[in-house]
Structure 1
Amino acid sequence: MKIATRAGAVAAAAVLSLSLAACSASNEVAADDSSADAAATDTATDEATDAAMSFSGELNGSGASTQEKAMEVWRANFQTENPDLTINYDPVGSGGGRTAFLDGSVSWAGSDAALSEEDGEYDAAVDRCGDAGAVNLPMYISPIAVAFNLEGIDSLNMDAATIAAIFDGEITNWSDDAIASQNEGVELPDLAITMVHRSDESGTTKNFTDYLEQASDGAWGYEASGDWPNDLGESGQGTSGVVQIITSTEGTIGYADHSQTSGLGVVSVKVGDEYVAPSADGAALALTAATPAGVNGDDDLAYELDRTTTEAGAYPVIVLSYVIVCEQYDDADEAAKVTSFLEYTASQEGQAASVDAAGNAPLSSDLSDQVIAVLEGIAAASGV
């Protein structure tokens, strides 16, 4: 693995200059000097390699716990190439990450929900970043699994209206006809359902409730929100908290990034006339129905998701998770670190690494190129 940095590009240019200089002088020196020229070029190449690893100090981000597994491998890979740099990421949840970014505590935020114009977050970003404000850049696409714990049952079929009724306390027993009628041949227990949701403000919650609002034909009576809208069931802090409760308690059902629900039963949701299990391919198909929703100009790559798609194989309960960054940083060193690191995470190499670690759907090559182009523009605007 070789992660390119801007420092490396500058050093490579220096190597090229040295090589050209050596070539232009080659007709004026004795043949015996050719080995000296080669040694000089080799030395410059070694120096370029060292320069490519020139980032040092710390780079701090925080936010969505859905990105945690991907962020672990992204950080490890980038730090391998930059051993004097420490990258920290605190998976406090999307809301906490946006708050930390907007108050200047971190250089970037990970968020399963874009900045909200309605909540004044774009205006707050102007105070934090300057007149250009901040933008949302897609970085992580993943299915949200509706996960449950029932002994001997690994999968169930449910439509959105049934899921909505469970999470709003209208269906309270696993043997309810609304569940049984969609799962012929499955022996459902006469057991109370315990619903589990996030206790913190969460982009995963916002995406899940957005799915329920759009797809349940009115069975979900709430607007999409990062805060859980009722006081039913049990709650857990972060993705890990929800998964821990489901794992430890039979009869539970909750929602979490699919990469972190290993060992639990999962729901296949009704899409058109079929039931579709959560998968990276299904998430990628669902994203094709999205439409641009960015508020802060062409660089703001936020999207509105259509959860009512009936495309075969699409899985509409997805999270499109962003990194939120300033359009311009006052500190060129901070800008170089954050943009170089995020260019790696958005690259095909970085996306392949997270797919292996977290099972997410990679950014398309076109979307990857768009994100990298925005980051390069941010670096240039910041004097990098």
Structure 2
Amino acid sequence: MTMKRLGRLTGVALLGALALTACGSDDNTTAGSGSSSSSSSDCSGTLNAEGSSAQKNAIEEVISSFSDTCADATVNYNPTGSGAGVKQFTGGQVDFAGSDSALKADAGEVDAAAKRCAGNPAWNLPMVAGPIAVSYNVPGVDAVTLTPSVIAQIFTGKVKTWNDPAIAKLNGDAKLPSTAIKVFYRSDESGTTENFEKYLAGAAPSDWTIEPGKAFGGGVGEGREKSAGVSDAVKSTEGAITYVEWSYAKDNKLGVAKVDNGGGAVELTGETAGKAVTAAKPDGEGNDLRLKLDYTTKDAGTYPIVLVTYEIVCSKGLDPAKTSLEKAFLKHFASSDVQSGLEELGYAPLPAEVQTKVNTAIDAIS
């Protein structure tokens, strides 16, 4: 399915709130919603990128549609996970990285990226957004409600069966089986893992006392590589549970738990997840568009577990032969026509205001 066939879609844009909260730009260039057209000089050559598997389905569609407008350009994306993508980028092995977590100064990633960019800062550009689903496979159970406390206890091994009193209390008359809970987690370094653990640490600090990180810290369960790995494992294992991007849960027809953060049980939809982003705070400067999400929100009707995938790029210092092609691809990615096709895949289109900020940053790459 190409982006052309996806077409323009209507619906709630998950990142609508970013228009109010994303960082401003130090660049004075006026940018519009972005154009996917490119000059012939921008449409040849090869870009190599690596990282987030959360955005795999989205970026593959974008690459496909970009090839329709730039037939002489090749964009390769390897969905090895956010941690691997950042390492490959800072090591100079790829032209840009996809990461579900912005570069961290305390982990040395900001300095390493600047060194890779010939002494210039790297920028985190929000390009894809989507909620993290708590996905399960329990035959005969069509709906489950979980709280952050219970989710934390499941992923640390304290709640071991589906009819545990902690789960039963939240689900009324539901006929929950005594099936053992089988936890699957990401075995590779993953921004999805880090965002999921940030949620648990923020919303259930008494039950999740582990420092959030790209490596799963729950201490129980079985690891699988990448988003496809954990979703495939849950699909084939009765009693299984994992955390995975909504697009993968939809593709594999997995059960998706409702989450009660304190304001009532909330079903995962584009609209309910979009409300969580209203609490996002700017966490970068200028064209570095990092965001800080509030995972502790208790607003009614708000699905609280959301991630943003960034494309991590050099502001300057990339091989000049690749800079124009990279800018053309990113412009295409951020354009209205392309973004509108992402919702059907389980992602969300950037609203016009955010497209403007992203395009301003892309224009400033040199």
Please report the TM-score for the alignment, with normalisation by the length of structure 2. Answer: 0.87
Shift of 1:213: 0.3
Report percent identity of matched pairs. 39
Instruction: Give the structure 1 partner of residue 360 of structure 2.
Output: 373
Shift of 1:168: 0.4
Q: Which of the residues 271, 280, 294 maps onto 1:290?
A: 280
Instruction: Give the structure 2 partner of residue 235 of structure 1.
Output: 223
Instruction: Give the structure 2 partner of residue 313 of structure 1.
Output: 301
Instruction: Give the structure 2 partner of residue 193 of structure 1.
Output: 181
Q: Which of the residues 254, 268, 279 maps onto 2:269?
A: 279
Shift of 1:139: 0.7
For the pair shown, the structure with the greater C-alpha radius of gyration is 1
Instruction: Give the structure 2 partner of residue 351 of structure 1.
Output: 339
Secondary structure of 2:340's aligned partner = helix
1:40-59 equivalences under 5 Å are 51=40, 55-59=43-47
Secondary structure of 2:183's aligned partner = strand
Structure 2: distance between partners of 1:281 and 1:329:
39
Q: Which of the residues 314, 318, 323 maps onto 1:326?
A: 314
Amino acid at match of 2:116: R
Instruction: Give the structure 1 partner of residue 51 of structure 2.
Output: 63
Q: Is structure 2 residue 111 aligned with structure 1 residue 108?
A: no
Shift of 1:361: 2.0
Q: Is the 8 Å Cα contact of residues 278 and 315 (structure 1) preserved in structure 2?
A: yes
Q: Is structure 2 residue 89 aligned with structure 1 residue 129?
A: no
Q: Is structure 2 residue 133 aligned with structure 1 residue 161?
A: no
Structure 1: distance between partners of 2:149 and 2:68:
47
Instruction: Give the structure 2 partner of residue 361 of structure 1.
Output: 348
Number of matched pairs? 332
Shift of 1:218: 1.4
Structure 2: distance between partners of 1:233 and 1:113:
23
Structure 2: distance between partners of 1:199 and 1:104:
24
Structure 1: distance between partners of 2:205 and 2:190:
24
Q: Is the 8 Å Cα contact of residues 185 and 221 (structure 2) preserved in structure 1?
A: yes
Q: Is structure 2 residue 200 aligned with structure 1 residue 212?
A: yes
Structure with greater helix percent: 1
Structure 1: distance between partners of 2:255 and 2:71:
40
Q: Is the 8 Å Cα contact of residues 36 and 331 (structure 2) preserved in structure 1?
A: no
Shift of 1:231: 3.1
Query: Structure 2: which 5+ runs fail to align?
Result: 5-33
Amino acid at match of 2:328: S
The structure whose RCO (Cα within 8 Å, separation 6+) is larger is: 2
Structure 2: distance between partners of 1:209 and 1:174:
21
Q: Which of the residues 146, 151, 163 maps onto 1:175?
A: 163
Amino acid at match of 2:260: K
Query: Structure 1: which 5+ runs fail to align?
Result: 8-50
Shift of 1:277: 1.8
Structure 2: distance between partners of 1:230 and 1:180:
22
Amino acid at match of 1:156: V
Task: Report Cα offsets for 1:20-48 as digits up to 9, x if no partner.
Answer: xxxxxxxxxxxxxxxxxxxxxxxxxxxxx
Q: Is the 8 Å Cα contact of residues 163 and 179 (structure 2) preserved in structure 1?
A: yes
Q: Is structure 2 residue 277 aligned with structure 1 residue 303?
A: no
Secondary structure of 2:55's aligned partner = helix
Structure 1: distance between partners of 2:280 and 2:57:
25
Secondary structure of 2:257's aligned partner = strand
Shift of 1:229: 0.9
CA distance 1:334–1:274, change in 2 (3 Å) = same
Structure 2: distance between partners of 1:330 and 1:223:
34
Secondary structure of 2:328's aligned partner = helix
